[in-house]
Structure 1
Amino acid sequence: MSETALDAERDAVLAALRPVVDGIAATFGPVCEAVLHDYREPERSVVAVAGSVTGRTVGGAMSEIGMRVLARGDEARDELNYVTRTDGGTLLKSSTMVLRDSTGAVFGALCVNLDVSAVDRAHALLGALAGTAGIPADPPATTFADDIDAVVEAIVDAHPLRRGAGWAALDRDRRLELFRDLDGRGVFAVRRSVEHVAARLGISRASAYHYLSQARAVTDRADDPAGGHP
């Protein structure tokens, strides 16, 4: 099938899912948000949204969860009933269901986010009254924003290798590890992301491209220890 025909097929799938997005949000009410993504344009992947749990709008960017799916390519799988929280502290139970065309290629996702903060508070209250309250695990934070630059910057700033230490404090191995991890999370699948990462780290664009190239070379060697020979 030609790429033009595949794009027409993908457009048809997205069009068919638009009313589903509205139906999901209407069914669960104001605590629910449904978001439809077209990964062919990561910087403005949101093509339909109903509900306002994360505050995103049509034309907005994917989150780092979407970047992770994008990085996995056609190996990506549905991620169901995971817990995360917004930068503002809202606790979410979410599911990300990947969309595939007839060739099996991943081209988008349907995401559902439920605001479970009120349920969590009620659970904590009941636990306290019953004397069984414990310290809840702290779920990871996810940056939801219409601007892809903000998502990239949040990933870089929150990275364990970055927190508490500037770029200059990292040795070469840790610098390569940082770039390798960011690459594995799909950060560099987004246009202009290398420039944004360089700016966030306070290094030149040329240096960022150099470290990315070196990090990918190390990854390739790790994936093919025999050097490609039988």
Structure 2
Amino acid sequence: MAREAERDAILAAVRPVVEGIAATFGPLCEVVLHDYRRPEASVVAVAGSVTGRAVGGAMSEIGMRVLARGDMAADELNYLTRTPRGDLVKASTMVLRDSSGTVFGALCVNVDVTALDRARSLLGSLAGAADRAADAPETTFGDDIDSVVDALLDRHLSPHDRAWTALDRAERIALFRGLDTHGVFAVRRSVEQVAARLGISRASAYHYLAQARAAAADDTEGALP
């Protein structure tokens, strides 16, 4: 109980920072405060509008990845990503920990640099420089956790471009391992959602998840000196 009160106090202390950072950087900046104790409604404060987040919204796939890493998660600073509509965003995700070192939330800063990138590309083409921002990965931001899970599942299925029934055992395990690495199964009811999308039973989904985690554990042990 004391630990929960401590986490609530940390979030309360960070809330004014959300407004302060957004006001400093202006209308192209969005700051989002997440409470990972509620993945389906992790957004507890937001200022600015870059990804369209709202209080009570779900975490993005970036947050799911942090959640999957647990207390081993580290800050992800100054990375480039794209929204589904193609806007280029420079972002930083800073994890929040309680006094025991447990990760329970994050402060995210998103800056829309689309216009700056277009100007840079124009100047770069005139100077003959390469376009480095073209490789920025797309990130799904949504207030509905189901849409984020669906987007991640679609992304992991697209390299196969085949139905679940056409995948062999290794490909099925690799699919579940990839989803697990990205934090999909840290969200409640996600196993049922993935099973429904793939057209398999919940028991089969748990079976493949267990095999994927066993394979990951074997790889980790094999990598030890």
TM-score normalised by the shorter chain: which range applies?
over 0.9
What is the one-letter code of the residue matched to 2:74? R
| Residues 46, 58 of structure 1: 8 Å contact kept | yes
Match of 1:134 in 2: 130
Query: What is the Cα deviation at residue 181 of structure 1?
Result: 1.6
| Identical amino acids, percent of aligned pairs | 70
Query: What is the Cα deviation at residue 218 of structure 1?
Result: 2.3
Q: Deviations over 1:104-136 (max 9, x none)?
A: 1110000000000000011112223x2424344
Query: What is the Cα deviation at residue 200 of structure 1?
Result: 1.9
Counterpart Cα distance in 2 of 1:7 and 1:117:
39
2:45 aligned to which of 44, 48, 51: 48
Q: Deviations over 1:140-180 (max 9, x none)?
A: 10000000000000001011665522212210011011111
1:64 aligned to which of 61, 72, 82: 61
Counterpart Cα distance in 2 of 1:85 and 1:181:
20
Q: SS at 2:27's partner residue?
A: helix
Using the size of structure 1 for normalisation, the TM-score is 0.92
What stretches of structure 2 of length at least 5 have no aligned partner?
A: none
Counterpart Cα distance in 2 of 1:121 and 1:218:
43
Match of 1:92 in 2: 89
| Residues 121, 131 of structure 2: 8 Å contact kept | no
Counterpart Cα distance in 1 of 2:113 and 2:217:
41
Q: SS at 1:159's partner residue?
A: helix
Greater than 6 Å deviation, 4+ residue runs:
none
Counterpart Cα distance in 2 of 1:121 and 1:222:
42
2:112 aligned to which of 112, 115, 121: 115
What is the one-letter code of the residue matched to 1:134? A
For residues 1-230 of structure 1, the aligned pairs below 5 Å read 4-128=1-125, 130-136=126-132, 137-159=134-156, 163-224=160-221
Query: What is the Cα deviation at residue 12 of structure 1?
Result: 0.4
| Residues 53, 115 of structure 1: 8 Å contact kept | yes
Match of 1:228 in 2: none
What is the one-letter code of the residue matched to 2:50? V
What is the one-letter code of the residue matched to 1:103? S
